[in-house]
């Protein structure tokens, strides 16, 4: 739903129209992408709320940054020692051809200084098919 006043002078308190840095737009586009919205849906939302045209290709280029961040996460250096390592799984809705719940297995390490760190994750169809 698009909030409107009768005199059409609505100003978003979050993102002013046509006066936003590109990095802020990138954050605005990445969040819906992370929730599973399609590029066309994100483009339509941005255009209807903020009167700015972003093509699905432009949005795809912005969301490619997310994939680069994931690759950097997978190849980062881990600590030498952890006091405790936990493994857990949770079901999350994922969009492939359709939206269905799949299992996200997560490894969490607690360093010797007490700081928590996600060590890794893997997505599987169910809990029984675990392989990290």
39 touches 58 (CB < 8 A): no
Which tokens in the block code for residue 33? Answer: 């992408």
Q: Which residue stretches of 51-119 are H helix?
A: 56-74
Helix or strand run (H / E) with residue 100: strand 99-110
Q: Taking the chain (132 residues) in consecutive chunks of 10 residues, what is each chunk's mean pLDDT?
A: 55 54 63 74 78 77 80 90 92 78 90 92 76 58
Residue 54: name the closest of 84, 29, 33, 78 by CA. Answer: 29
Domain extents in the chain = 1-76, 84-129
63 touches 72 (CB < 8 A): no
Half-sphere exposure at residue 1, Cβ-oriented, CA atoms within 13 angstroms: 3
């Amino acid at each position: 739903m698009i909030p409107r006043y009768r005199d059409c002078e609505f100003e978003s308190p979050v993102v002013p129209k046509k006066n936003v840095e590109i990095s802020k737009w990138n954050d605005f586009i990445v969040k819906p992408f992370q929730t599973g919205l399609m590029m066309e849906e994100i483009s339509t939302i941005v255009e209807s709320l903020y009167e700015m045209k972003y093509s699905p290709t432009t949005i795809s280029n912005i969301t490619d940054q997310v994939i680069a961040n994931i690759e950097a996460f997978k190849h980062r250096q881990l600590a030498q020692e952890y006091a405790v390592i936990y493994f857990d799984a949770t079901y999350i809705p994922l969009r492939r051809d359709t939206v269905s719940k799949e299992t996200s297995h997560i490894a969490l390490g607690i360093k010797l200084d007490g700081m928590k760190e996600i060590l890794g994750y893997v997505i599987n169809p169910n809990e029984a098919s675990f392989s990290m």
